[in-house]
């Protein structure tokens, strides 16, 4: 079980504060479990994790094996939850530089359709030159502007390289089971397709084919991912007390918000966690930021960002709190070497493991920020492996649902997202948006 340490919020909060909201938390969790709250038609994610391999998972793995055997590069086309979850999983498990040295049998994986940058498109074209590639296009509708533009261009590249029939074998659609432009295209063109359950919104879809196919192509064991998520579903929904880390995290962050802490900084000490921070930002930002409410989510990478945002966190406006993410040390250790001249003055660390240095940096930062008036929640994930990945995803999804109901908002809609689209479509002259 993930461990949540709230010992560094006391002073900003008190135990009576926490005990006073126990019934609120219990009610929010029950509302989510019973499906009686707003947005209850988007609760399909709650029961996605399963203990045994399903037929859908077998199809996903079979498709991934084909892609791995026949592709130097695999391109995932999607935006929002359609790319943040799978990219977060791959970079957390394999690092930010996971593509270096890969090729057919273990393909490079790139993400497209999440930007309108011409420079980014030109770079992707360059990376695909002379490479065998396949792609997954992920969209419930198939008409979202950014991925639709990217998919149109990549589909043309595939057809030019392999012909129409050859290209159709290299396109995998992940979409609504019955409706939408992408479902129609997949049916007419004969592409292999996987479903996004209609009751699972995009930011809660990482444990569907949306996340599982890219993970499997990357060589992550999706059966273990789902096993970890299943164990989390079983345990975190069963325990209804402050022994449940979901209750601690959701409850304390809402209490801090009520005490004027309107910004949450999620700090990880692993560079590979950076995109997981991006996935967390979307999950909580879109779920809670509405009706004039919401904790503003920001993710940072320590120790790097201590040299950029550290001053602001230490002595800036006191409207922030931190959630620090920690993992167990890896099995393979690195040791600080010695130097005869010692001009850098580091010989006092010679022979010490790098993880020991990292731990002291964490402890020193924790103490400094708490002393500076920043409440800190520590989330200890334990060992980092495929099962933990599944547990982590489910943990934060469940926390988000409970937290949003505590806040008094619908966790599963995002009405504000449409406003920029309407303005953009009008400026682009899209039919139907003239006024």
Q: Which residues are identified as catalytic?
A: 286, 307, 421
Cα–Cα distances (Å) from 284 to 10, 210, 239, 397, in that order, read 24, 19, 23, 9
Count of alpha carbons within 13 Å of 197, Cβ hemisphere only?
A: 18
Cα–Cα distances (Å) from 191 to 166, 222, 372, in that order, read 11, 22, 56
Q: Answer yes or no: are the C-beta atoms of 352 and 336 closer than 8 Å.
A: yes
Cis ω before 8 (30° cut-off from 0): no
Please tell me the distance from the alpha carbon of residue 151 to that of residue 136, in angstroms, as a whole number.
Answer: 9
Return the closest-CA partner of residue 98 out of 61, 80, 73: 73
DSSP output for 316-350: S-S-EEEEEEE-PPPSS--B----SS-TTS-GGGT
Indicate the length of the chain as a whole number.
435
Please tell me the distance from the alpha carbon of residue 166 to that of residue 380, in angstroms, as a whole number.
Answer: 47
Q: Which residues pair with 134 in a beta bridge?
A: 74
Element (H, E) at 229: helix 222-238
Cα–Cα distances (Å) from 4 to 149, 304, 399, in that order, read 42, 24, 12
Q: Answer yes or no: are the C-beta atoms of 114 and 146 closer than 8 Å.
A: yes
Count of alpha carbons within 13 Å of 192, Cβ hemisphere only?
A: 20
Q: Which residues pair with 335 in a beta bridge?
A: 353
């Amino acid at each position: 079980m993930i461990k949540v340490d709230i010992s560094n919020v006391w002073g900003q909060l008190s135990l009576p504060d926490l005990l006073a909201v126990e019934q609120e938390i219990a009610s929010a969790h029950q509302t989510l479990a019973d499906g009686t709250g707003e947005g209850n038609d988007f609760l399909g994610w709650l029961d996605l994790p399963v203990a045994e391999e399903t037929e859908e998972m077998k199809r996903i793995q079979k498709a991934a094996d084909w892609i791995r055997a026949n592709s130097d590069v695999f391109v995932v086309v999607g935006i929002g939850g359609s790319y943040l979850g799978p990219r977060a999983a791959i970079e957390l498990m394999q690092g930010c530089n996971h593509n270096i040295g890969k090729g057919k049998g273990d393909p490079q994986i790139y993400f497209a359709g999440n930007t309108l940058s011409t420079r980014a498109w030109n770079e992707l074209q360059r990376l695909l030159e002379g490479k065998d590639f396949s792609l997954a296009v992920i969209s419930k509708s198939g008409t979202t502007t950014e991925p639709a533009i990217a998919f149109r261009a990549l589909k043309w590249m595939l057809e030019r390289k392999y012909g129409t029939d050859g290209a159709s074998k290299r396109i995998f659609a992940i979409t609504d089971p019955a409706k939408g432009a992408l479902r129609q295209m997949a049916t007419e063109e004969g592409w292999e397709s996987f479903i996004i359950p209609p009751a699972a919104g995009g930011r809660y879809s990482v444990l569907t084919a949306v996340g599982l196919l890219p993970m499997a192509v990357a060589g992550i064991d999706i059966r273990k991912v789902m096993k970890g998520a299943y164990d989390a579903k079983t345990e975190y929904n069963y325990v209804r007390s402050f022994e449940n880390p979901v209750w601690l995290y959701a409850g304390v962050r809402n209490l801090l918000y009520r005490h004027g802490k309107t910004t949450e900084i999620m700090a990880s000490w692993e560079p590979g966690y950076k995109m997981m921070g991006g996935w967390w930002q979307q999950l909580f930002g879109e779920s809670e930021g509405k009706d004039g409410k919401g904790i503003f989510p920001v993710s940072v990478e320590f120790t790097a960002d201590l040299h950029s945002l550290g001053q602001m966190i230490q002595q800036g406006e006191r409207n922030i709190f931190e959630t620090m993410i920690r993992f167990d040390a890896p099995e393979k250790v690195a040791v600080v070497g010695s130097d005869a001249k010692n001009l850098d003055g580091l010989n006092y660390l010679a022979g010490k493991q790098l993880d020991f240095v990292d731990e002291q940096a964490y402890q020193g930062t924790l103490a400094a920020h708490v002393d500076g008036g920043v409440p800190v929640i520590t989330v200890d994930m334990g060992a980092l492996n495929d099962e933990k990945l599944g547990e982590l995803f489910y943990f934060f999804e469940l926390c988000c649902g409970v937290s949003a109901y505590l806040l008094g908002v619908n966790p599963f809609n995002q009405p504000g997202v449409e406003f920029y689209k309407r303005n953009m479509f009008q400026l682009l002259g899209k039919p139907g948006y003239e006024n």
